[in-house]
Amino acid sequence: MQRMSLRFDGIALAPGIAIGKVMALHSSNRNLVPEKRLIEESSKELERFADALKETEIQLASLRDELKTRLHEKEAGIFDAHLLLCADRAILNDVKKLIENEKCCAEYAVYVVSEKYFEVLKNLQDAYLSERAGDIRDVASRIISNLTDCDIRSLGMDDKRIIASHTLVPSETATLDKKKILGIIVETGGETSHTAILARSLGLPAVAGIPGELIDSLQINDRVIVDGFNGRVILNPDNHAEESYRLKAQAADQLRSELEQESRLFPDTTDGFRVPIAANIESHLQMDESRASGANGVGLFRTEFLFLNQVVPPDEESQFNIYKQLLLAADDAPVTIRVMDIGGDKLPRAGSVAVEDNPFLGLRGIRFCLYGRRDLFETQLRALLRAGVFGNLRVMLPMVSSVAEVLETREIIHALQEQLASENKEFVSNLSLGVMIETPVAALQSEHLAGLVDFFSIGTNDLVQYTMAIDRGNEQVAYLYRPANPAVLKLIRNVVEVAESHRIHAGVCGQMAADPVHALLLLGLGVHELSMAPAAVPVVRRAIRSVSMYELEQLAAKALGSASAAEASKGVYDLLMSRAPELITEE
């Protein structure tokens, strides 16, 4: 029977299109509490346990070795930690004791012991150790899989499949045999989750944000289309949809291999203007991905993720090491680090924050830094000042809405520099400091900010939202969200003009820069630099190389006088359609 065709829009994790049968890893298959089966002879059970352990160690070691050649050494380190846990005497002894004393099966014993240690570690109130708690569960479920012969790879993976799961833990993502996987669908996971980074490095299309109930309802022979460009999943597509996606997939493959050849080309327009393209990243693990895309340095390193998942905020030393590593990896290319952008929809677990009626208009960004948790802000600035000596660092302040905020931050930086000098520590004395232009007030007052800073970075996600009074996250109005709205374009044009008269540069690091049509519109408005997710860099580079700055300036001038977003972007859209239609993937 043909099941009904359904379409879901989620978050695009990794580009590409996959069409095929689904393999759902239901949570019940993996996190099932093993039944307490009583056994006759504990010696046989101990042997089964020893075999499963050996099998697990071999798997982990080969996973580690495989990852070492393919990815960052750090990523492989996860499996080193798992191997140590697997061979840990406290766990082994407890499991053996339980099997001998209780005469229970090994699966149950492993489960009970791992849960015991999981609880102990979880309750130690130490961010590092509570992370290790998850590792114990991960290793235990692998051992249990090996005991029950029901691990991912033996779940009937006879042919190529699209993997669907609520979430994928690193060891599962790494187990995925690329030859058998077409694509990935998950419920949870952001652009920088392990799943996303790994999927991109393997060239597998992936989409997150698909409801768990849908994943649970999937049946083994359901056909699915994963559209990793638009973050879309289509369940049981009709013949027409499948055929049209098949053509798109072919074109995408063709385009990808072409774009790979172009990664060393400069982003120059046909009339010779070079537009630096930098990468937006959240983890130093993405540096390889960024370099492979041909991006020049980092235009936005988001630091709030260092804070958001932590029980205890990271201290100066650990932040210093992260920033230093990043700067060294960038090899003197500019690295723009944004201080923690906390508040709005991003709330930390560490430190209590009062509940706000309207968090997007509340204590967020620089306001949180200055008036919420100034202690965390000072620690972060100290780490940045010290790390700055290892590369080309720029520091950026989010959500600035007044001159006073910049002046106050400058004073703090000055005081911290004196402190560091008195401690005989190395630090940068002329820190390059910029502000994000994300609010209409900052855009309109930019001439007063310009004299106080070294650069502007326009954060279009928020600028569009605050200018149009539209919450992108609210599905009832999200379709009205239009980055090319002429009011937004006018604000951007004003910021660029101010920057030029003050001889500082103005870049764009929002989602808008990652869309080829919008990116060209921004260049026409005079934006000096674009920063985007590494995956978008090759597409935007080709778009830039297919047009002239002269044409873009003409079209942007017209766009400024338009009545609507559709009218404003039409000129550039038509131009790109005539020069490089293959780059337009969004509907």
Partner 1 sequence: MLSTAENSGKVNTAEREVVIGNKMGLHSRPAAEIVRMLSGFSGDVSLSRVDGRGEAADCHSILSMLILAAGRGTRLSLRVSGDGADGVLEKVGSFFDRNFDEESE
Is residue 49 a contact point for partner 1 (CB under 8 A)? no
Q: Distance between CA atoms of 457 and 451, rounded to whole angstroms?
A: 15
Give whichever of 120 and 404 is closer to partner 1, judged by the CB atom.
120
Give whichever of 137 and 502 is closer to partner 1, judged by the CB atom.
137
Site stretch for partner 1 (CB under 8 A), options 7-15, 87-95, 201-209, 263-271: 87-95
Answer for which of 51, 126, 159, 243 binds partner 1 (CB under 8 A) is: 126
Is residue 124 a contact point for partner 1 (CB under 8 A)? yes
Q: Distance between CA atoms of 199 and 357, rounded to whole angstroms?
A: 38
Cα angle 280, 283, 285; round to 5? 110
Give whichever of 58 and 90 is closer to partner 1, judged by the CB atom.
90
> For this structure, is 240 an active site residue?
no
> For this structure, is 509 an active site residue?
yes
Site stretch for partner 1 (CB under 8 A), options 88-96, 338-346, 412-420, 539-547: 88-96
CB of 429 to partner 1, least distance (A): 23
Is residue 119 a contact point for partner 1 (CB under 8 A)? no
Cα angle 350, 533, 378; round to 5? 35
Give whichever of 121 and 196 is closer to partner 1, judged by the CB atom.
121
Is residue 535 a contact point for partner 1 (CB under 8 A)? no
Number of residues that bind partner 1 (CB under 8 A): 18
CB of 131 to partner 1, least distance (A): 10
CB of 90 to partner 1, least distance (A): 4
Is residue 91 a contact point for partner 1 (CB under 8 A)? yes
Which DSSP string do the residues of 236-266 spell out, in sequence order?
S--HHHHHHHHHHHHHHHHHHHHHHHTTTS-
Is residue 435 a contact point for partner 1 (CB under 8 A)? no
Counting every residue written for the chain, the total comes to 587
Site stretch for partner 1 (CB under 8 A), options 86-94, 144-152, 206-214, 249-257: 86-94
Answer for which of 121, 196, 366, 555 binds partner 1 (CB under 8 A) is: 121
Residue pointed to by tokens 């997710």: 533
Site stretch for partner 1 (CB under 8 A), options 80-88, 172-180, 194-202, 573-581: 80-88
Q: Distance between CA atoms of 450 and 511, rounded to whole angstroms?
A: 24
Cα angle 354, 357, 360; round to 5? 90
| Contacts (CB under 8 A) with partner 1, residues 135-194 | 136
- Helix (H) or strand (E) holding 455, with range, is strand 455-458
CB of 142 to partner 1, least distance (A): 16
3-state secondary structure 356-387: CCCHHHCCCCHHHHHHHCHHHHHHHHHHHHHH
CB of 135 to partner 1, least distance (A): 10
Catalytic one of 194, 284, 518, 528:
194
Residue pointed to by tokens 């049946």: 219
Give whichever of 302 and 324 is closer to partner 1, judged by the CB atom.
324
Give whichever of 127 and 251 is closer to partner 1, judged by the CB atom.
127
Is residue 33 a contact point for partner 1 (CB under 8 A)? no
Is residue 76 a contact point for partner 1 (CB under 8 A)? no
Residue 456 main-chain phi, psi, to 5 deg? -115, 145
Q: Parallel, antiparallel, or unpaired: how do β-strands 223-227 and 232-235 relate?
A: antiparallel
Name the packing angle between helices 374-387 and 316-330 (round to 10°). Answer: 40
Cα–Cα distances (Å) from 502 to 167, 434, 454, in that order, read: 48, 13, 9
Answer for which of 129, 214, 403, 560 binds partner 1 (CB under 8 A) is: 129
Answer for which of 128, 266, 371, 550 binds partner 1 (CB under 8 A) is: 128
Catalytic one of 284, 369, 509, 518:
509
Closest of 280, 531, 284 to residue 391, by C-alpha? 284
Is residue 93 a contact point for partner 1 (CB under 8 A)? yes
Answer for which of 120, 415, 557, 566 binds partner 1 (CB under 8 A) is: 120
Which DSSP string do the residues of 515-530 spell out, in sequence order?
SHHHHHHHHHTT--EE
In which order are the strands placed within the sheet that holds 11-14? 6-9, 232-235, 223-227, 17-25, 161-165, 181-186, 206-208, 11-14
Is residue 371 a contact point for partner 1 (CB under 8 A)? no
Is residue 84 a contact point for partner 1 (CB under 8 A)? yes
Give whichever of 116 and 410 is closer to partner 1, judged by the CB atom.
116
Exposed/middle/buried for residue 418 (C-beta within 10 Å: 0-12, 13-18, 19+): exposed
CB of 422 to partner 1, least distance (A): 15
Name, in order, each residue with C-beta under 8 angstroms of 14's C-beta and a sequence gap of 6 or more. Answer: 184, 196, 199, 200, 203, 204, 205, 206, 228, 535
Is residue 426 a contact point for partner 1 (CB under 8 A)? no
Please report the beta strands in 315-430, taking only residues with DSSP state E, as ranges in sequence order: 334-338, 392-397
Is residue 498 a contact point for partner 1 (CB under 8 A)? no
Q: Distance between CA atoms of 116 and 88, rounded to whole angstroms?
A: 14
Q: CB count, 10 Å around CB of 16?
A: 22
- Helix (H) or strand (E) holding 213, with range, is helix 212-217
| Contacts (CB under 8 A) with partner 1, residues 200-239 | none
Is residue 568 a contact point for partner 1 (CB under 8 A)? no
Is residue 132 a contact point for partner 1 (CB under 8 A)? yes
Give whichever of 111 and 229 is closer to partner 1, judged by the CB atom.
111
Answer for which of 79, 117, 427, 456 binds partner 1 (CB under 8 A) is: 117
Site stretch for partner 1 (CB under 8 A), options 122-130, 299-307, 532-540, 541-549: 122-130
Q: What amino acid positions are annotated as catalytic residues?
A: 194, 509
Q: Which residues bind partner 1 (CB under 8 A)?
A: 81, 84-85, 88-91, 93, 117, 120-121, 124, 126, 128-129, 132, 136, 317
